[in-house]
Amino acid sequence: MDFQELKEYMHLENISGIEKFLLYMLDKVSSFKPTQTDKRNLAIVYHRLWWFRNNEIKKYFSGSKSFKEYNPFIFEEYKLSAEQDIKSLEFSRKGLSEEKWLSDLLKVFKKDISETISFFSTKEKKEVNLENTSVLYIDNNGNFWHGDKTKFCYPMGVKGKRFMILSYLAENRGIQLTKNISDFVGHNKTQNTRNEIGKIENNIQKFLGLGDVIVSKKDSGYGINSKYKIVKEK
């Protein structure tokens, strides 16, 4: 393989790899409902890669080969953000040699791909079928979970106050006064209890994918959302 053939082969590999990743992104975003922030971030990554692929084709294979067409915008509502990102990339080229600029670009794309794969992997692990989450479980080892315990479990442990707070709310249905919760767990200040409940809520969202297990009433207290039943397991 001479130098010209090697060069063409390398650019074809770039294009092929990017195409596979674009298809991967299209498949993954169709399987969950991304937030607006997710959409914007994914739109920028997708368009960066599409743009680079398109430039590779124009520069090295213009009119010589047939390539599949891809929509440059994975989410049309973030078309402007994606285009502005490309303008920023092109502006960064000023003063750099072609080799240096390409090297910098590939570092950006490598990071994009790594973070996007990690993002989808986390989504797949935490994505929840809400129809199967009405029954939650808690055990004496401080585990709080629903469904598949290996996937959706908050291992809070039993030594801290959070296990006591969640157990108290699970055993006492309805809104419980913050003062009563504080007295039960031994907090001197109700603000400490509020802070701990905030951390519990964040971890339930993180580990179980649920954001409405604990509800609150202003100037009153906290309780378990009536849509959930918590079962205590030994």
What is the C-alpha to C-alpha distance for residues 80 and 43, in angstroms, rounded to an integer? 10
- Residues whose CB falls within 8 Å of the CB of residue 63, separated by 6 or more in sequence, listed in order: none
Per-residue pLDDT, 133: 61
Dist. CA 46–CA 41, nearest whole Å: 9
In this prediction, residue 6 carries a pLDDT of: 53
- Chain segment 176-195, per-residue pLDDT in tens: 999 999 999 999 999 999 99
- The pLDDT value recorded for residue 81 is 93
175 three-class SS: coil
pLDDT value of residue 224: 93
* Mean pLDDT (whole number) for 16-27: 89
CA 129, 205, 44, 10 torsion-angle sign: negative
Contact 116, 25 (CB under 8 A): yes
Q: What is the mean predicted confidence (pLDDT) over 99-119?
A: 88
Q: What are the φ and ψ backbone dihedral angles of 35, each rounded to 5 degrees? A: -70, 170
Give the model's pLDDT for residue 78.
92
Q: Residue 209's pLDDT is what?
A: 85
Domains delineated in the chain? 3-126 (no CATH), 130-233 (1.10.10.10)
The CA distance from 182 to 156, in Å, is 18
**Torsion angle of C-alpha atoms 107, 113, 119, 122, degrees rounded to 10:** -110
Global pTM value: 0.53
Lowest mean pLDDT among 34-38, 158-162, 181-185: 34-38
